[in-house]
Amino acid sequence: MSRLDHGFLHYSCCRKYSNAVYIRPMTRYTTSDLSRKSGDIIAEALRKPVTITQRNKDRLVLLSVENYRQLVARAETRTVSTLATMPDEDFAAFRKAVETYAAEGDEQ
């Protein structure tokens, strides 16, 4: 199967697939919690990002400046392209990641 067979697919990736980013579930607080326990919530947000909800919907993420700078730096290294123009090394890593994902789905 050639890349052009999948040319309609687009990818957005970091150049290094081995540094995959996994999003961990964040602790959730309501806006009322933020009013009552702001010191505790800020202290936790300095250790790891927290979600602030309003009317049971995620509305905000509170995170440290260090975490924010890491996200911005990571975003600046991302590129968007098509599979047809993807470098061979990236395409091989992408194909392997897709095959691994598919195999994990088959196991369940």
Task: For 13-53, give the DSSP string.
Answer: E-S-GGG---PPPPEEEEHHHHHHSHHHHHHHHHHS-EEEE
CATH number of domain containing 59? 3.40.1620.10
Domain that holds residue 61: 3-88
According to the model, what pLDDT value does residue 13 have?
38
Establish if 107 belongs to a structural domain. Answer: no
Establish if 9 belongs to a structural domain. Answer: yes
According to the model, what pLDDT value does residue 52 have?
95
Specify the number of domains making up the chain.
Answer: 1
According to the model, what pLDDT value does residue 35 have?
95
Q: What is the mean pLDDT of each run of 10 residues along the chain (108 residues)?
A: 42 41 76 96 94 94 93 79 84 88 73
Looking at residue 45, its amino acid is: A
